[in-house]
Amino acid sequence: MRSVLYLGAAVVLAWPLAAAADDGAGADIYRTYCATCHGIEATGHGPMAGAMVIKPSDLTALSARNGGAFPVERVVRRIDGRDPLVSHGSPMPVYGDFFEGRDVALKTPSGQPILTSQPIVDLVAYLRDLQKGG
């Protein structure tokens, strides 16, 4: 009987970890590469935000700040370094090599494709899902 209780407790305690691991590649990438600055909730309040010259953006408000449309091209260019950010001192993220290679086409709202890596496509999909009201 005790072993059944221990097994039950282990399943209950492990369930949030399994759920977190199952919410997609974009979420995993975000937690690994972005949450330190932008925060777990993507509102710009990560633990490193206070040390940055330019404060991290609220990534949940990207669509709201762009007339309701998610700015795919701008987000891709910011992440892959084609539109560098001074606060990062180099192309964002500083983990650059992870986001290189494995290029795929991602369609922008205008229909024009933009080439970027699969990890960035996954991250953009996750950020799109985080938008307030969306």
What's the pLDDT score for residue 40? 96
Please list, in sequence order, all residues whose beta carbon lies within 8 angstroms of the beta carbon of residue 109, skipping any fewer than 6 positions away: 69, 70, 72
For the stretch 88-97, pLDDT in tens is 555 565 666 6
Domain boundaries, the chain: 58-130
- Report the distance separating Cα 122 and Cα 104, nearest Å: 11
pLDDT, one tens digit per residue, over 84-131 is 766 555 556 566 667 777 789 999 888 999 999 999 999 999 999 999
pLDDT in tens, 15-68: 333 333 446 999 999 999 899 999 999 999 999 988 888 888 999 999 999 999
- pLDDT score recorded for residue 94: 60
Sign of the dihedral defined by the CA atoms of residues 40, 33, 60, 46, in that order: positive
CA distances from 134 to 84, 120, 128 (A): 27, 20, 8
pLDDT of residue 90: 54
Q: How far apart are CA 7 and CA 2, in angstroms?
A: 9
**pLDDT above 90 covers what percent of the chain?**
46
- The answer to whether residues 106 and 113 touch, using CB atoms and an 8 Å cutoff, is yes
pTM value is: 0.74
Position of tokens 């072993």?
Answer: 3
In the predicted structure, residue 82 carries a pLDDT above the cut 70? yes
